[in-house]
Amino acid sequence: MALKKILKFKIINTFTIVISFIVSFFILDLGVNSFLRKGLKKYYGIEDNSEIALIGHSHIMLGLDKESMEKKLNIKVAKYTSEGVDILNRKVMIDYLLEKNDSIRLLIYGVDAWSFSGEGLSANSQVLFYPFLDNVNIDHYLRECVPFKDYLTRKIIKTTRYNEGLISSSFRGYLRNWDNMKSGTVNLKKVKEQIAKNKYRKINNNPLYIETLTQTIETLSLNKIEIILFYIPTLHLINQVENKKFKKNIDIFEQIESDYDNVKFINFTDAYSHRYELFYDPIHLNSVGQKVVTDSLIKILQKNYYNDIGI
């Protein structure tokens, strides 16, 4: 009997420790999630009533300097960019941004020759939306496109919604740091070797992506938002690997430009793709490249958008 009493007491004691541990864990989980999500929103500029929004993946992320644009144009710029987000993801990003911010008047949308190629970008870029799982639309989107077990885990334990990229972005949001920290220059020899070994991303157009881009433009047009399809330059060596397909996709963007009054296609490829010193790798600009390209874009914006959005 005595042994049973002791065991019972010990089990209750253990139970108390476990429960307090679990409760503490969920409180901490809630706090960390709240902190990280706030930082992310600051980094992306989701709730800061910006008038210009930059949307895209790493090309735009490393290619455009938001702070420089804000300073020189004297206007707020939201830079909602994430690595590997494809056209389908970007539609969700834009919908979310428009829901949170009704003052956007110009949206700069990153495009490239590989924009309509689903494969080779990221296998699971939708995970970048996990931090905003509490939003109804994003919840709906994720429930459909991620395995239920993953969805449920993120729903219950909020800190599982982050990865180090998102955590880093969150901290950069608090620190107000949007710098391009890529300082090296592309290794041309290595690029040539990779091309020779057939290790490059292929251009394969998926009709769904083209259709989704059109839908995105329609939505933005309904909201009376000006759109720039902006081609951040990619290295000449990579552009010419599938030259015909490359030109065909440039034609698609030019066609979209002519189809819509509020769409302009700006292509910096011819101007900068041969200037190797501006590239960190074949598809991303280094900090010098970012400055050059941003300054050029600012000049175009000052020249062409003064009347439309008051720059």
Partner 1 sequence: MLFNSWEYLFLFLVTTILYFNISLKYRTFLLLISSYIFYISWRLDFALLMLAVTMVNFFGGIKINASRSKKSKKYWLALTIFLSLIPLIYFKYFNFLIENINFIIPFFDNNLQLPYIEIILPVGISFFTFQALSYSLDVYYGKTNVEYNFINFSGFVAFFPQLVAGPIERSSNLLSQFRNKHLFLKENFLIGAKLFIWGLFKKVVIADRLAIYVNNIYDNPELFNSATLAVATMFFAFQIYCDFSGYSDMAIGSAKILGFNLRQNFNLPYLANSIGDFWKRWHISLSSWFGDYLYIPLGGNRVRYYRWVINIFLVFLLSGFWHGASWTFIIWGSLHAFYYLVESWGDKFLNLIDFNFIKRYWGYKVFKILTVFVLVCFAWVFFRANSITDAFFIIDEILSFKKGDLYIGSSAVTFILSIFLIFLLLIVQIMQYLKIASMYFYKSKAPASIQFLWYLLICVAISTLSVSSNAFIYFQF
Residues engaged in binding partner 1 (CB under 8 A) = 7, 10-11, 13-14, 17, 21, 24-25, 28-29, 32, 149, 153, 157, 159-160, 162-165, 167-168, 181, 184, 190, 193-194
| Closest approach of partner 1 to the CB of residue 225, in Å | 32
Taking the complex as a whole, the smallest distance from the CB of residue 289 to partner 1 amounts, in Å, to 17
Alpha helices, DSSP H only, in 45-135?
58-63, 66-73, 87-100
* Nearest CB to partner 1, comparing residues 14 and 223: 14
Strands 284-285 and 279-281: antiparallel
Distance CA 203, CA 210 (A): 13
> Are 111 and 230 in contact, with CB atoms under 8 Å apart?
yes
CA 223 to chain centre: 21
- Residue whose CB is less far from partner 1, 157 or 175: 157
- Closer CB to partner 1, 79 or 264, in the complex: 79
Nearest distance from C-beta of residue 285 to partner 1, angstroms:
16
In 3-state terms the chain splits into helix, strand, coil percentages (rounded to 5) of: 60, 10, 30
Supply the minimum distance, in Å, between the C-beta of residue 187 and partner 1: 9
Nearer to partner 1, 123 or 222 (CB): 123
Residue pair 114/201 in contact (Cβ under 8 Å)? The answer is: yes
Shortest spacing between CB 155 and partner 1, in angstroms: 13
The smaller minimum CB distance to partner 1, of residues 149 and 303, is found at 149
Report in angstroms how near the CB of residue 186 gets to partner 1 at its nearest. 12
Pairing of strands 106-111, 279-281: unpaired
157 versus 208: smaller Cβ distance to partner 1: 157
SS3 (DSSP) at 298: helix
Distance CA 285, CA 300 (A): 19
CB nearer partner 1, residue 26 or residue 306: 26
CB-based contacts of 8, cutoff 8 Å, min separation 6: none
Q: Which is nearer to partner 1, 14 or 243 (CB)?
A: 14
Smallest gap, in angstroms, from Cβ of residue 150 to partner 1? 9
The DSSP letter of residue 128 is G
Instruction: Show the tokens assigned to 16.
Output: 């108390």
Distance of CA 238 to the CA centre of its chain: 22
Residue 195, sorted as left (phi over 0), alpha (psi -120 to 50) or beta, turns out to be alpha
Residue 176, sorted as left (phi over 0), alpha (psi -120 to 50) or beta, turns out to be left
Query: Minimum Å distance from CB 204 to partner 1?
Result: 22
